[in-house]
């Protein structure tokens, strides 16, 4: 018997036009749509005239449901997993199900689509070459501060989801953990009518959000710039010598002398003379 497929289908995070043609095609064709909240998702599905059968698969029952879904797929049915908004599994249910499917050798196909973290990051103006998605911080004050303090030396851009009622407390904790100068960006109500991006030092953004209660409403993604990278590959004495020689010699020559003395790459040292 031919097995079916589990499809992971992202849905819009605000603007209904962000559903993809392929998402609609898959949602129309599957035997069952497993949804985090069937009432919430039926509004979206009705909007697109999709009448597939809905199953509730949320964080409280997903472990039990996983087995039944794997069995159905093995029997040849195809199932689409959706969450209330955005990409399933990204701070949303689905991990036990996908893990069970992979374990059972059942095909899993993920469709690309809306995700608040990626959308916010791409518009943030912060470095995107390396980033760390951290999901939601703890609602408990001390646990939240400790989690942030553990990230003090992280050099990648950090991306968090945050609830509006906690944003002021969280910004205060970010200020305590990273200092008032660290750059942050808040992407709010992305793809919706009141979409805004606030950016600046933590102290500046905290002042802006405090002064404008509208900025304490809606859905938000908080991004924190990474710490500046320290180049541990060049010994401190080599850098000192480089600085001294660089005052007397052309930069290329200074870099070459220090490189041969410490057995380092002249190019790496040359970058430090610029």
> Would you count residue 57 as binding ligand SAM (CB under 6 A)?
no
80 binds ligand SAM (CB under 6 A): no
* For helices 266-273 and 251-262, angle between their N-to-C axes, nearest 10 degrees: 140
Q: Does 79 bind ligand SAM (CB under 6 A)?
A: no
Closest-CA residue to 136 (of 167, 112, 97, 113): 167
State the minimum distance, in angstroms, from the CB of residue 162 to ligand SAM: 6
CA distance linking residue 47 with residue 6, whole number of Å = 23
Residue with tokens 């991004």: 223
186 near ligand SAM, judged by CB under 6 A: no
User: Is 36 an interacting residue with respect to ligand SAM (CB under 6 A)?
Assistant: no
Size of the site for ligand SAM (CB under 6 A): 24
H-helix segments, 128-265: 141-150, 167-178, 202-211, 236-248, 251-262
* Cβ atoms of 242 and 273 closer than 8 Å: yes
| Secondary structure class of 262 (helix, strand, coil) | helix
Q: In this chain, which stretch among 59-67, 147-155, 204-212, 219-227 interacts with ligand SAM, using CB under 6 A? A: 219-227
| Candidate segments 65-73, 185-193, 224-232, 257-265, binder of ligand SAM by CB under 6 A | 185-193
Near ligand SAM by CB under 6 A: residue from 98, 145, 148, 221? 221
Each residue 189-218 as x (binds ligand SAM by CB under 6 A) or -, in order, gives xxxx--------------------------
Q: Are strands 108-110 and 6-8 parallel, antiparallel or unpaired?
A: parallel
31 contacts 209 by C-beta, under 8 angstroms: no
Q: Supply the minimum distance, in Å, between the C-beta of residue 152 and ligand SAM.
A: 22
In this complex, which beta carbon is closest to ligand SAM, that of residue 206 or of residue 220?
Answer: 220
Cβ-based neighbours of 152, under 8 Å, separated by 6 or more = 177, 178, 227
Give 135 or 250: the residue with its C-beta nearer to ligand SAM.
135
Site string for ligand SAM, 144-183 (x = CB under 6 A): -----------------xxx--------------------
**Which residues between 89 and 128 bind ligand SAM (CB under 6 A)?**
90-92, 115-117
**Beta-carbon contacts of residue 214 (< 8 Å; ≥ 6 apart):** 194
Could you tell me the smallest distance in angstroms from the CB atom of residue 271 to ligand SAM? Answer: 37
19 binds ligand SAM (CB under 6 A): no
Report whether 33 contacts 7 (CB < 8 A): no
Q: Which residues of 64-76 are buried (b: 16+ CB within 10 A; e: fewer)?
A: ebbeebbebbeee
Looking at the Cβ atoms of 90 and 168, the one nearer to ligand SAM is 90
As measured in angstroms, the least distance from the Cβ of 39 to ligand SAM is 16
Q: Give, to the nearest 10 degrees, the angle between helix 251-262 and helix 236-248.
A: 150
Q: Please state, as a whole number, how many other Cβ atoms lie within 10 Å of the Cβ of residue 236.
A: 8
| Contacts to ligand SAM by CB under 6 A | 13-14, 83, 85-87, 90-92, 115-117, 161-163, 187-192, 219-221
């Amino acid at each position: 018997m031919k097995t079916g497929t589990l499809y992971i289908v992202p849905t819009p995070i605000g603007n209904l036009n962000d559903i993809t043609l392929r998402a609609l095609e898959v949602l129309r064709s599957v035997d069952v749509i497993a949804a985090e909240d069937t009432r919430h998702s039926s509004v979206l599905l009705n909007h697109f005239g999709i009448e597939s059968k809905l199953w509730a698969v949320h964080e409280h029952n997903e472990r039990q449901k996983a087995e039944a879904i794997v069995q159905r797929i093995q029997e040849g049915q195809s199932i689409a997993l959706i969450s209330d908004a955005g990409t399933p599994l990204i701070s949303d249910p689905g991990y036990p199900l996908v893990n069970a499917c992979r374990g059972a050798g059942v095909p899993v196909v993920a469709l690309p689509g809306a995700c608040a973290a990626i959308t916010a990051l791409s518009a943030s103006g912060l470095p995107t070459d390396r980033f760390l998605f951290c999901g939601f911080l703890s609602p408990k004050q001390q646990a939240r501060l400790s989690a942030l303090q553990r990230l003090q030396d992280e050099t990648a851009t950090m991306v968090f989801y945050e609830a509006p009622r906690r944003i002021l407390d969280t910004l205060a904790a970010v200020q305590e953990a990273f200092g008032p100068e660290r750059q942050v960006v808040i992407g709010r109500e992305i793809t919706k009518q009141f979409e805004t991006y606030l950016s600046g030092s933590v102290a500046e953004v905290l002042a802006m959000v405090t002064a404008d209660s509208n900025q304490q409403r809606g859905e938000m993604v908080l991004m924190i710039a990474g710490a500046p990278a320290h180049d541990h590959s060049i010994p401190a004495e080599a850098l000192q010598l480089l600085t001294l020689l660089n005052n007397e010699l052309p930069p290329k020559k200074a870099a070459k002398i220090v490189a041969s003395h410490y057995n380092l790459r002249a190019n790496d040292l040359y970058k430090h003379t610029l």
